[in-house]
Structure 1
Amino acid sequence: MKVAIIGAGVSGLAAGITLEKNGVNPDIYEQNAIISDHYSHVGAALSMAYRSITSEPLKFLNHLLGIELEPLESIKKLIIHSKNSKAVIDNENIGFSFIMGQESTSVTNQLLKQIKKSNILYEKRVSIDLLKEKYDYIIAANGSRSEDYIADKYLKGWRQYLVAYTRVAKLHGNFETNTVVVWGNKEVLKNGYAFLAPFNSRTASLYVTIPHLSDWEELNTCWKDFLQQTKILDKTTLLGTYDRTHVSANSMSVKWENCFFVGDQGGFLDPFLGLGAATAIASGVLAAKAITENKDYDQLTRQYKRVISTMSEVRNFYDSIDDEMFDTIVAAEDNQLLKKLIYGTNIDWLKYGAIAVSPFVKSQKSPNFHETSSSPTH
């Protein structure tokens, strides 16, 4: 059996590991000279988002992969800021953080170390049309930048519904290593949010992502307003930034002929928080299992698609509320009893909440439909 994987990100490498475990050594085509993101940042997997699948996403992911991924930190404290309210959630099973980038401990490099026999072909830009006659199966895992995005050409019923402009910054200062901070302020960040997570006690990544903008100038304005409003640079030093867009899309199927679409290409990017590593990895594993075990890939990924669908409803709800409503929600989350109910149980609150609000909200389509890009580090 001959299998090609386009892209050596987390979903492509996860697929390669799983194929090797089942006796298939794929050819992995990577257009860059090295593997891993061009910029380093800290991501997170929040347990609440995956409750419909598992109460312990890291343990579940490791079981699915058959290896032991090491997180950067277990998240012990989550601080949420709205315009006029603040909630502090601590000592609960909030989730875990991980590094995306070129560090040896990054998720990508941890996965890369598990590739033993597959042929990784660097600086090779290939297409499905070029490979589909040469290989029995193809796994498309090449991200969502505009020059790489191909899913719309092949997947039935493909629909892009959100483009978010994103700026990732690295900060130097003093940070609590197991604490992440989130800001949501419609006046400053529109329908977006800011997310800070530490690499260590001295450096952290700040992730600002805003959907439905018309151009980069709008992001620059939001960025400047956010820095001024939070005064975050009064206590930290800005080391650099990196800009890119993120795409959220869905389709009737994530398979076309002998091709399987995983990660961003398969629409496995969370449209609310923009955190897709866990579902991207899972989709790569399941594509490989579908190939080696002759199973239905759409069926295997159905529960993960439901997670994305739930987060899409949460996104629509967040888009539809104002600062006053968000203040009320954040103030409620700071209530001790509610914190125990929301974060101290395994009830899938997001699922039930999404069902409850979905009849009352309308989705907003990004004006820059199918326009995606990235930029060098500033």
Structure 2
Amino acid sequence: MKIAIIGAGLAGLSAALTLEKNGFIPDVYEQNSLVADHYSHVGVVLNMAYRSISLEPLKYLNKLLTVKLSPLETINNLIINSQNSQASVKNEIIGHSFVVGPEPNSLQNQILKHIKNSKMLYEQRESLENLRQRYDYVIVASGSRSEDYVADKYLKGWHQYLVAYSRVAKIYGKFEPNTAIVWGDKEILKDGYAFLAPFSRQIASLYVTVPHVSSWAELDQIWKAFFKKEGILEKYTLLGTFERTHVSAYSSSVTWENCLFAGDQGCFLDPFLGLGAATAIVSGVMAARAIIENSSYDKLVQEHKKVISVMSKVRNFYDSIDDKTFDFIVTSEDNAVIKKLIYGTTIDWLKYGSKALGPFLKQKKSPNVHDTFSSPAE
């Protein structure tokens, strides 16, 4: 059986590894010269986002892949900032951080080192239409960058939740490796957020991600306003930045003819926080399993797509509130009892909250995915 994979990111690599372990050797087409972005950053798998699937997402991923992924840190502390309030959650397992990028210990390279036989075809850009004629199956896992996005052309019932512009900085200063920091300020960050996750005690990633804006110039204004208000350049040294867009979408099916769509292309990117590592891995594994078992990929990922549906309702809720409401939420979260109920129990608060609020929320409109670009024009 001939199988092609488009994209050697987390979804594509997870699919290749699963196929290999079951006796199938795919061809993996990657347009870049390596399996990850050239610019490294820190990604976080948050436990709360995946409670409906597993109480321990990292163990779940390790079991799916049949390899042990090594996190950068266990995130035990979370600081949440609104315009006028702050909540601090301490000594709870919030999630795990990972390096994403070209480093040997990155999440992508941890998976790649277990792939022995798959044919890795770097610097190869192949169209879906071409490959689907030459292969029995094609797994489409080429990410959500606007120039590479094709899912909207093929998937049934496809529609986007949002397009978000993101700028990620690497900064130098003093950090606690097991502590992540989140900012939500509607006046400054609009419907977006800022997020800090450390590489080490000296280096951290700082994200600013904003949906529903229409240009890089608009993101740049938001970026500068956030940096000024929080005094980022007074506290830290800016080492570099990179930019990209993210597409969060929904489709009633993630298959089309002999093609299976995984990762961001399969609509597995969380529309609230832009998280995608865990669902990318899961979707890649499930796409491979569907081929191996000759089973329904749509059924295999049904429960995992519900995670994205829940997060879409959380996103719509966040879009609909103002700073006063978010201040109240953050102040409430700083109550010891409430913090323990939210972070120290196994209750799926996001699921139940989204069900209660869902009928009253409206979705904001983002620019069309193909009207954006992954980085500013030179």
Shorter-chain TM range is over 0.9
- Aligned to 1:195, what secondary structure does the other structure show? strand
Match of residue 40 from structure 2: 40
Contact in 2 for aligned 1:263/1:279 (Cα 8 Å): yes
Q: Residue 216 in 1 paired to residue 216 in 2?
A: yes
CA RMSD of aligned residues (A): 1.2
Q: Secondary structure at the match of 2:146?
A: coil
d(CA) in 2 for partners of 1:8 and 1:189? 32
- The residue matched to 1:133 in structure 2 has which SS? helix
Tell me what 2:119 maps to: 119
What secondary structure is seen at the aligned counterpart in 2 of 1:247? strand
Q: Does the 8 Å CA contact 1:177/1:201 hold for their aligned counterparts?
A: yes
Q: Do the aligned partners of 1:163 and 1:370 also contact (CA within 8 Å) in 2?
A: no
- Corresponding residue for 1:6? 6
Kindly state the Cα deviation for residue 50 of structure 1 after the two structures are TM-superposed. Answer: 0.4
Q: Does 1:252 align with 2:252?
A: yes
Other-structure match for 2:180: 180
- 1:335 equivalent in structure 2: 335
Q: In structure 1, what is the equivalent of residue 80 of structure 2? A: 80
Return the alpha-carbon distance in structure 2 between the equivalents of residues 244 and 318 of structure 1.
Answer: 22
Distance 1:362 1:131 in 2: 39
TM-score, L = length of structure 2: 0.98
User: How many aligned residue pairs are there?
Assistant: 378
Instruction: List per-residue Cα deviations over 1:120-143 (Å, max 9, x = no partner).
Output: 011111012111121111000111
Report the residue type matching 1:21 in the other structure: K
Q: How far did 1:295 drift?
A: 1.4
* Residue 368 of structure 1: how far off its partner (Å): 4.3
Kept in 2: contact 1:192–1:211 (CA 8 A): yes
What per-residue deviation string (whole Å, max 9, x for no partner) do you get for residues 56-115 of structure 1? Answer: 000001001110011110001000000000000011121101111111100011111011
1:178 deviates by: 0.4
**What's the CA shift string for 1:10-36, capped at 9, x where partnerless?**
100000000001100100011112221
Measure the CA separation in 1 of the matches of 2:190 and 2:26. Answer: 44
Say if 2:143 and 2:265, in contact at 8 Å, map to a contact too.
Answer: yes
1:108 corresponding residue in structure 2: 108
User: 1:239-267 CA distances to partner (integer Å, 9 max, x unpaired)?
Assistant: 11111110011111000111100001001
User: Aligned partners of 1:377 and 1:93: how far apart in 2?
Assistant: 41
The answer to whether the 8 A contact 1:242-1:377 is kept is: no
Q: Is the 8 A contact 1:212 1:368 kept in 2?
A: no
8 Å CA contact 2:7, 2:143 repeated in 1 = yes
- Structure 2 equivalent of residue 132 of structure 1: 132
Instruction: Report the equivalent of 2:324.
Output: 324
Evaluate the alpha carbon distance shift between residue 348 and residue 361 of structure 1 in structure 2; reply closer, same or farther with a 3 A threshold: same
Matched residue SS, 2:224: helix
Q: Is the 8 A contact 2:146 2:369 kept in 1?
A: no
Pairwise CA distance, 1:370: 3.4
Deviations 1:196-232 (A, max 9, x none): 0000011000010000002111111110110011112
CA distance in 2, matches of 1:372, 1:347: 38
Structure 1 CA distance, aligned partners of 2:365 and 2:157? 16
How does the TM-score come out when normalised to structure 1? 0.98
CA contact (8 A) 1:242 1:376 kept: no
Q: Which moved more, 1:96-105 or 1:128-137?
A: 128-137
Q: Name the SS of the counterpart of 1:248 in structure 2.
A: strand
Counterpart Cα distance in 2 of 1:289 and 1:49: 24
Return the alpha-carbon distance in structure 1 between the equivalents of residues 224 and 262 of structure 2. Answer: 35
The 1:11–1:44 alpha-carbon spacing in structure 2 relative to 1, beyond 3 Å, is: same
Cα distance in 1 for partners of 2:49, 2:233 equals: 31
Mapped to 2, the partners of 1:350 and 1:377 lie a distance apart of 38
- Measured after TM superposition, the shift of residue 377 of structure 1 is 12
Deviation at 1:376, TM superposition (A): 7.7
- 1:1-378 to structure 2, matched below 5 A, reads 1-375=1-375
Q: How much identity, in percent, do the aligned residues show? A: 65
For the 8 Å contact 1:240–1:377, the answer to whether it is kept is no
Letter aligned with residue 245 of structure 2: T
Residue ranges of structure 2 left out of the alignment (5+ in a row): none
Tell me if structure 2 keeps the 8 A contact 1:29–1:121: yes
SS where residue 92 of structure 2 aligns?
A: strand
Are the structure 2 counterparts of residues 91 and 377 from structure 1 closer, same or farther at C-alpha, using a change threshold of 3 Å?
farther
Q: Distance in 1 between matches of 2:369 and 2:200?
A: 37
Per-residue CA shift, 1:276-333, capped at 9, x if unaligned?
Answer: 0000010000000000011110011011100000000000000000000000000010
**1:371 Cα deviation from its structure 2 partner:** 2.5
User: In the alignment, residue 270 of structure 1 is paired with which amino acid?
Assistant: D
Deviation of 1:154 after TM superposition, in Å, equals 1.0
Q: CA separation in 2, counterparts of 1:141 and 1:38?
A: 18
